């Protein structure tokens, strides 16, 4: 495994090219949207998991130095989330093939519940930071408001943290001096006084400060520091995480053709987006560039409601078919339009393609 990690890190551009080529060929596999779709979807899922593993290996390339903060928990939540998302379509296809259209929602609900648990654990483990791309991308950027309050010594850390950092800086200077002296002794082969050399090395080990652990904000810290804004942010994130599971449970109860799951899911998304908007408008809660892009991405996901039943069956499908008939006489363009409509209609039959989760 270590040899494979080294090869991936050395040839990451080549690996990315191979992954893109392989994923592109999966759309050309026969019977992709037919009843016997388990084989092609299994190939797609395996390729997706391999891609996620390679991305995780590349993202963990840079080693941590002694000065960098140490993560108290290194469980790969983003890799776990990506693997579940790659398997969910295969689970849906297999459940539909062996158990039928009605009972497949039980398996989809289990998959969504698993994603909810992983994302909530990741949300808590990250210090209640916004999930990027549904948890597939770790949110490693620091919040300016959190970091400033921590350095000022008021809200998330004790007042002695700044003084401790000054002490560690002085220790680092002394440790560097002792380290340089030790290396000089080794290079000069000072074998005449090995006891003195061991004494210097031992003192160097004593003077080096222990690695600094990351102190993540807890739930009570965020609520006490941010107040109502912090509570709105937390509720908005929880609604965004749990919305797919709520939608699937409603489909299990009322059916895919009912408007109740469609409207209630839209309402949950709207309430969560409203909470996030109120947080963004406040001056005391600053979002990073990645989090601002994430909010824009979530707004774009609302377009998927046009592709979900019953709205798709009553309105969107008719628009697509009329466009296809309109462009059918046009050479090349009519052929491409027909193929695109076929792919869109076929993809719409899969919940996992249009779930936005």
* pLDDT tens for the chain, residues 1 to 357: 788 888 788 887 877 788 777 777 766 666 555 556 787 778 888 888 888 888 888 877 655 444 445 455 568 888 899 999 989 999 999 999 899 999 999 999 999 999 999 999 999 998 889 999 988 888 887 765 544 444 444 443 334 444 444 444 444 455 555 555 555 555 544 444 455 445 555 555 555 555 555 567 777 787 788 788 888 899 999 999 999 999 999 999 999 999 999 999 999 999 999 998 888 887 667 788 898 899 999 999 999 999 999 999 999 999 999 999 999 888 899 899 999 999 899 889 899 999 888
**313 domain residue, yes or no:** yes
**82 domain residue, yes or no:** yes
Extract the tokens encoding 187: 């290079």
Identify whether residues 12 and 106 lie together within a single domain: yes
Whether the CA torsion 28, 31, 33, 36 is positive or negative: it is negative
Residue partners of 238: CB distance under 8 A and separation at least 6: 120, 123
Domain count, the chain: 3
Residue numbers of the domain that contains 316: 308-356
Residue partners of 41: CB distance under 8 A and separation at least 6: 89, 90, 93
Extract the tokens encoding 52: 């996620």
Extract the tokens encoding 341: 């409509």
Identify whether residues 132 and 253 lie together within a single domain: yes
Identify whether residues 264 and 322 lie together within a single domain: no
Determine contact, residues 212/69, Cβ cutoff 8 Å.
Answer: yes
Q: How many residues does the chain have?
A: 357
**197 domain residue, yes or no:** no
**168 domain residue, yes or no:** no
């Amino acid at each position: 495994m270590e040899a494979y990690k080294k090869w991936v890190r050395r040839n990451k551009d080549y690996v990315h090219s191979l992954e893109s080529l392989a994923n592109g060929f999966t759309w050309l596999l026969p019977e992709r949207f037919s009843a016997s779709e388990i084989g092609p979807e299994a190939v797609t899922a395996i390729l997706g998991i391999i891609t996620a593993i390679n991305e995780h290996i590349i993202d963990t390339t840079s080693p941590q130095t002694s000065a960098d903060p140490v993560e108290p928990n290194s469980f790969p939540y983003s890799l776990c989330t990506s693997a579940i998302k790659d398997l969910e379509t295969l689970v849906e296809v297999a459940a539909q093939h062996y158990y039928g259209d009605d009972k497949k929602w039980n398996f989809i609900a289990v998959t969504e519940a698993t994603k909810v648990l992983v994302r909530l654990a990741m949300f808590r483990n990250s210090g209640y930071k916004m999930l990027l791309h549904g948890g597939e991308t770790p949110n490693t950027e620091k919040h300016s408001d959190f970091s400033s309050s921590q350095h000022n010594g008021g809200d998330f850390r004790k007042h002695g943290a700044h003084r401790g950092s000054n002490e560690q800086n002085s220790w680092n200077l002394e440790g560097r001096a002792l380290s340089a002296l030790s290396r000089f002794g080794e290079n000069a082969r000072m074998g005449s006084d090995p006891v003195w050399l061991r004494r210097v090395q031992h003192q160097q080990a004593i003077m080096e400060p222990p690695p600094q652990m990351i102190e993540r904000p807890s739930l009570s810290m965020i609520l006490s520091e941010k107040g109502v804004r912090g509570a709105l942010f937390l509720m908005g994130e929880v609604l965004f995480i749990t919305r797919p599971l709520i939608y699937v449970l409603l489909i299990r109860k009322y059916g895919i053709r009912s408007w109740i799951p469609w409207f209630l899911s839209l309402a949950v998304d709207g309430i969560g987006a409203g909470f996030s908007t109120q947080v963004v408008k406040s001056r005391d809660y600053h979002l990073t560039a990645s989090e601002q892009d994430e909010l824009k991405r979530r707004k774009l996901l609302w377009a998927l409601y046009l592709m979900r039943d019953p709205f798709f069956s009553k309105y969107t499908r008719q628009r697509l078919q009329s466009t296809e008939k309109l462009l059918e006489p046009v050479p090349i363009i009519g052929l491409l339009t027909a193929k695109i409509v076929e792919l869109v209609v076929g993809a719409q039959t899969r919940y996992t393609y249009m779930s936005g989760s």
